[in-house]
Structure 1
Amino acid sequence: MDERLTRKLRILADAAKYDASCASSGAPKRSAGRGGIGSTNRIGICHSYTPDGRCVSLLKILLTNYCLFDCAYCINRRSSNVERARFSVQEVVDITIAFYKRNYIEGLFLSSGIIRSPDYTMEQLVLVAKSLRQQHGYRGYIHLKTIPEASPWLVEQAGLWADRLSVNLELPTDEGLKSFAPEKQAGTIKAAMGQMRERIEEAEAERRSFSPAGQSTQLIVGADGASDADMLRTTANLYDRYALRRVYFSAFSPIPDSTSRLPAKAPPLQRENRLYQADWLLRHYEFGVEEIASATEGGMLDLEVDPKLAWALKNRARFPVDVNKADREMLLRVPGLGARAVDKIVRARRHTTLRLDDLKRLSGALKRSLPFLIAADHHPGGSTDRADLRARLVQPAAKQLALF
């Protein structure tokens, strides 16, 4: 790769790192020697998950970091004094195919600043995906960022060639968007999401391919005054109205020469993690958003304990629960019991009365669960009423950032 193209790649891969809707899995980085193409923090190779759960390496880049918009929170806003670059459609295609043939990547995540017009930018993104599919027979994963202001026809074209589409809402409230990104309209963004949902559902009903991995979005954490409860209410609404596969959270990163209305410091990284944990409860644990919000303080999630444990500590009167009698919904609310463990418990108790040793075989985190459950040979008595229960459970949990 020549020096000019390498420079573009480094600039536009670095510019793409702020988009969390292509999430890194934390998998080991591929290595091709010192400074080589396996360096994820230098040339934009990241890791993400396909719908079937496989971890894949993606080339994560922007088509360009030039932009007509001046969103206050964005490093690539038009008033930002950053180094700029722009790929041609053919350059993105050539890099993707070259990396794919060398087994550096299994897919492409492509976004862009807005240049000339939303339609022109969307057309360029579509041309990349179409060229890869039609001219090169490329069958790897493609995630395209869609431009909400672009024509519906172009968005439909994107869905024909991409595995996943996403449009970033960025801020959880209309007021926040008006304040920090006045050139964007929440209604336009949500209309684009609605259009994509309709096309995806139509394609599924007709058994044809249109963005088969669905759509996703990103919310920025800590840029405006939105609380965690606000973030989660918006998240739940997006899942319900637009059938999103994922809502990603990205902690705000202070940028040079930004408005004084933005925070001077980034929010605690733990806040982003707690939001992901709460999102997991919404999607996989049958929690309602107001249940989670009820366990917050001033609308903010507890940074010391995960949202599930915070809810349990706020609702001690509902514990302990009997694993041999409680319904699945209540078992899912027991700290330390994952959804798989709960399903195993429900199946196993049809054939036997569960004892503590049985639960230890079914769950790998039973220690945290003990104060909250009853088994045939285990009854914690009044342990949930102990004043020091929180202190006993917080310390070991603070050492790791796992979901539960």
Structure 2
Amino acid sequence: MVIQEGMSIQRKLEILSMAARYDVACTSSGVDRKGNNTGIGNSLACGICHTFSADGRCISLLKILFTNECIFDCKYCINRSSNDIVRASFTPREVCELTMEFYRRNYIEGLFLSSGIKISPNHTMEQIYETLRMLRDEYNFNGYIHCKIIPGTDPVLVEAIGWYADRLSCNLELPTAESLKKLAPHKNRKNILKPMRQIQLRRDRHNEYLGIDDAARNRLLTDSRINIDETDGPVAANIIVPFGRTLPAKKRFAPAGQSTQLIIGATEESDYQIMTVSEALYKNFGLKRVFYSAFVNVNQDESLPSTLDGPPLLREHRLYQADWLLRFYGFKTDELLDNNKPNFNLLLDPKCDWALRHLELFPVEVNKADYQTLLRVPGIGVNSARRIIAARKHAVLDFNDLKKMGIVLKRAIYFITCNGRMMYPIKIDEDFITRQLLASNERMPFGIDKDITYRQLSLFDDVNFQPDMHDQIKILSQA
């Protein structure tokens, strides 16, 4: 370990922003909060951390660790205690100054604050609490804040931080207790799930008294007793207003909810096991998002798998697609995978793969199918399914109409009919449709143009590309 004395804030920023790069935070904020005349900033329910919002904007987040010093020795972590790396720590004032200066320059729209564990979880989270308190109360920062909760933190600190942050997250890290014991022996499932349960119950409790008068609200906050541990029997905790403060009338506890992260590929769990864990977290803990982080072997530890072929990014992508199906499309994990088929098909997205294994349910008549049935058709998303439901009240839809609505016909045409007819004669056979979907990067079948008409094949047919004169000369010269 290398600790430099008198380190500049610029140097700290370089070290602690780089140290935070493996903590996934690309998500929508999930909270709308307008600016006011007493502070600076606001929060919009759109993307953060170098991602794209629904209206096409690319907006960003200051993503840092409070410290990369750590008493834990998790084998997969670059900041583990046994690594000989340069260590640095911010002070609460430094984080506040950085956030405010970056915000004023329009570099960021919020703060993502995570941390290693310096001295103890409570010591570190006390420093983070003071940082958030200063940002909100002294600097009047009204922008978005996402804060990581360290497993093992005292419930009173978790409660206090929840009134200042927009989103909280406590990383599960690995899917099973056995994997956690193997690669992160200082952590255990109980200490991770305990704050997750507390956050869920506090948010549920808060919904009960929204809208009542201030006196009753603060009385409920002070008197409420929350069972935050259901694994070893009831353990009641008196959760009080943060350190005796009186809350403003419109104060909300973690309004953007909570999330967690799973490392993919560090241990041998199947996709089925991972998705089963995610489904349970959504159902039992009310999580907004489960993030999947492809394992990167930064420590070259012998207990870690080799990543000579790079991190399993395609597997991570398939898990995100399946996660979307669970949250918005009405699928269950057991429909997508089982013990006989424990991993996703890397060649096809989970929805197409499911449809190919259930061809007895297709084709679907788009002019008659209900909303949930339409959602299960490859190429039809949530918005396009709603458009279909709305449009067919006034007209009988055909394939031209579907194309205008944004349906991805290069996938959907194998699974739908319009007025009882398919777009063109198709053999309803798993092997045939699979080959068509995989051929030429899922391009539209030959003969189907933007106007759904047949025409003669041209040199640049498949990419709708018209070369300029320079490209034509180059192509002919190489022929």
TM-score (norm 2): 0.74
1:286 CA displacement: 0.7
1:30-67 deviation per Cα after TM superposition (whole angstroms, max 9, x unaligned) = xxxxxxxxxxxxxxx93257899975321000011110
Whole-angstrom distance in 2 between the partners of 1:282 and 1:288: 6
Contact 2:295 2:312 in 1 (8 A): no
Whole-angstrom distance in 2 between the partners of 1:365 and 1:51: 19
1:58-115 deviation per Cα after TM superposition (whole angstroms, max 9, x unaligned) = 1000011110111111111111122211111111111111111111111110000011
Whole-angstrom distance in 2 between the partners of 1:113 and 1:137: 26
Closer/same/farther in 2, CA of residues 50 and 158 from structure 1, 3 Å limit: farther
Contact 1:356 1:378 in 2 (8 A): no
Residue identity in the other structure for 2:388 = I
Contact 2:296 2:307 in 1 (8 A): no
Whole-angstrom distance in 2 between the partners of 1:337 and 1:378: 18
Match of 1:199 in 2: 202
Whole-angstrom distance in 2 between the partners of 1:387 and 1:78: 52
Contact 1:21 1:217 in 2 (8 A): no
Whole-angstrom distance in 2 between the partners of 1:151 and 1:51: 37
Residue identity in the other structure for 1:394 = L
1:3-50 deviation per Cα after TM superposition (whole angstroms, max 9, x unaligned) = 72111111100110000134599xxxxxxxxxxxxxxxxxxx932578
- Corresponding residue to 2:176 among 169, 173, 185: 173
Match of 1:214 in 2: 257
1:267 CA displacement: 3.6
1:357-377 deviation per Cα after TM superposition (whole angstroms, max 9, x unaligned) = 222222341221011001116
Whole-angstrom distance in 2 between the partners of 1:398 and 1:140: 42
Is 1:326 matched with 2:329? no
Closer/same/farther in 2, CA of residues 204 and 51 from structure 1, 3 Å limit: farther
Aligned to 1:17, the other structure's residue is in SS state coil
Closer/same/farther in 2, CA of residues 141 and 396 from structure 1, 3 Å limit: farther
Is 1:270 matched with 2:314? yes
Whole-angstrom distance in 1 between the partners of 2:331 and 2:207: 28
Match of 2:21 in 1: 17
Match of 1:233 in 2: 276
Closer/same/farther in 2, CA of residues 398 and 369 from structure 1, 3 Å limit: closer
Match of 2:115 in 1: 112
Closer/same/farther in 2, CA of residues 149 and 236 from structure 1, 3 Å limit: same
Contact 1:133 1:139 in 2 (8 A): yes
Contact 2:411 2:442 in 1 (8 A): no
1:259-293 deviation per Cα after TM superposition (whole angstroms, max 9, x unaligned) = 33433444431111111101110111111111111
Whole-angstrom distance in 1 between the partners of 2:204 and 2:52: 22
Contact 1:165 1:216 in 2 (8 A): yes
Superposition pairs of residues 5-404 of structure 1, within 5 angstroms = 5-23=9-27, 46-48=49-51, 56-207=59-210, 208-265=251-308, 266-294=310-338, 298-376=341-419, 378-379=421-422, 383-385=427-429, 387-397=431-441
1:247 CA displacement: 0.6
Contact 2:264 2:312 in 1 (8 A): no
Q: Please report the RMSD computed on the Cα atoms of aligned residues, expressed in angstroms.
A: 2.4
1:204 CA displacement: 2.7
Whole-angstrom distance in 1 between the partners of 2:105 and 2:436: 51
Aligned to 1:389, the other structure's residue is in SS state helix
1:336-372 deviation per Cα after TM superposition (whole angstroms, max 9, x unaligned) = 1111111111222233322222222223412210110
Closer/same/farther in 2, CA of residues 336 and 329 from structure 1, 3 Å limit: same
Residue identity in the other structure for 2:323 = D
1:114-160 deviation per Cα after TM superposition (whole angstroms, max 9, x unaligned) = 11111111111111111000011111111110112011000011111
Contact 1:323 1:373 in 2 (8 A): yes
Closer/same/farther in 2, CA of residues 338 and 51 from structure 1, 3 Å limit: closer
1:255 CA displacement: 1.5
Whole-angstrom distance in 2 between the partners of 1:96 and 1:7: 16
Closer/same/farther in 2, CA of residues 261 and 361 from structure 1, 3 Å limit: closer
Whole-angstrom distance in 2 between the partners of 1:340 and 1:135: 43
Contact 2:169 2:258 in 1 (8 A): yes
Of residues 320-329 and 9-18 in structure 1, the stretch that sits farther from structure 2 once superposed is 320-329
Higher helix share: 1
1:388 CA displacement: 2.5
1:212-261 deviation per Cα after TM superposition (whole angstroms, max 9, x unaligned) = 11101100010000111111111111100111111111100012342334
Match of 1:4 in 2: 8
Residue identity in the other structure for 2:163 = L
Closer/same/farther in 2, CA of residues 178 and 53 from structure 1, 3 Å limit: farther
Match of 1:38 in 2: none
Closer/same/farther in 2, CA of residues 22 and 359 from structure 1, 3 Å limit: closer
* Bigger Cα Rg: 2
Aligned to 1:46, the other structure's residue is in SS state coil
Whole-angstrom distance in 2 between the partners of 1:370 and 1:220: 36
Residue identity in the other structure for 2:194 = A
Whole-angstrom distance in 2 between the partners of 1:51 and 1:236: 25
Aligned to 2:168, the other structure's residue is in SS state strand
Q: Percent identity among equivalent residues?
A: 47
Contact 1:221 1:249 in 2 (8 A): yes
Whole-angstrom distance in 1 between the partners of 2:118 and 2:161: 18
Structure 1: gaps spanning 5 or more residues: 26-44, 400-404
